[in-house]
Amino acid sequence: MAIKRIMVIGAGQMGGGIAQVAAQTGFEVVLNDIDRAFIDKRLAFIGGLLDKNVAKGRMTEEDKAATLARLIPSTDLKDAADVDFVVEAATENLAVKEKIFRILDEVARPDVILASNTSSLPITELAAVTGRPELVIGMHFMNPVPVMKLVEVIRGIATSDATYATVKELAETMGKVPVEVNDYPGFISNRVLMPMINEAIYCVYEGVAEPEAIDTVMKLGMNHPMGPLTLADFIGLDTCLAIMEVLYEGFADSKYRPCPLLRKMVKAGWLGRKSGKGFFDYSS
């Protein structure tokens, strides 16, 4: 089946990025969220990014207009009845995602692949709430989606070879580099990244050094483009905590125990960039 029309569920940072890249590639994109105002805000943001691309000579005004014309707002999951592929990028909560997948399974055509952009939740469990587990897969894009090349393609226990092959080809068509991963907590990216961030937080918690010093060591000593604490603030400390909880619960191993300081900061509402304060101050 040729994929021409894609639904992206969730008009947040990740969903909006996926929708933008898919539309720039030439796909019709149904961008779904529960709030039309939220979709309109995301479309305006995408328009601003495309304006910058035009100003830098990366695309023409005609290409920009064509990309925006391919983005179709939707506030009803029943619109999945008319698409060839679905990528869910809703909040990182298993119960929320399972509810969405149950609805999609009823609405979407029986041959349509249902992909999740989850960064840590089990694809096998999402697949199990549908009647098409062989057509359920993980498609974990990196943030910011228009810039980052990697897509983790996560196979649940029932995911078919044909489904994997289709998603791999789709990722490549969108200009991404797909990497095949099996369904374990955190996959590859967050299983490696989040414990590093958590350990950096422990260094703050135990008084080893100040956040700026820790980030400087990792940037200048390990050649990381961004320090782990700056990255944690960028991701969102609530998201970091949620992923660490998935790892801790999934492996039942104390090495994944979230740092108490991370829990305390999340409870205080110090979530990083999006709240104006995390390990660094973003209020000014």
* Domain ranges within the chain, ordered by starting residue: 5-182, 189-275
Q: Average pLDDT for residues 41-54, to the nearest whole number?
A: 97
Whole-number pLDDT of residue 21: 98
Whole-angstrom Cα Rg for the chain = 19
Query: How would you classify the pairing of strands 150-155 and 136-141?
Result: antiparallel
**Percent of the chain whose pLDDT exceeds 70:** 100
Please enumerate, by residue number, every residue annotated as part of a binding site: 10-15, 33, 92, 97, 119, 143, 274
Active site residue ranges: 119, 140, 152, 190
Nearest Cα to Cα of residue 87 among 125, 48, 126 = 126
Q: Output DSSP code: residue 281.
A: B
Please enumerate, by residue number, every residue annotated as part of a binding site for NAD(+): 10-15, 33, 92, 97, 119, 143, 274
Q: Which CATH number fits domain 5-182: 1.10.3710.10, 3.90.1150.10, 3.30.365.10, 3.40.50.720?
A: 3.40.50.720
The model's pTM: 0.92
Q: Output DSSP code: residue 243.
A: H
Q: Which CATH number fits domain 189-275: 3.40.50.1100, 1.10.150.120, 1.10.1040.10, 3.30.565.40?
A: 1.10.1040.10
pLDDT in tens, 124-171: 999 999 999 999 999 999 989 999 999 999 999 999 999 999 999 999
Whole-number pLDDT of residue 284: 81
- Cβ contacts of 68 within 8 Å, gap of 6 or more: 23, 43, 46, 47, 50
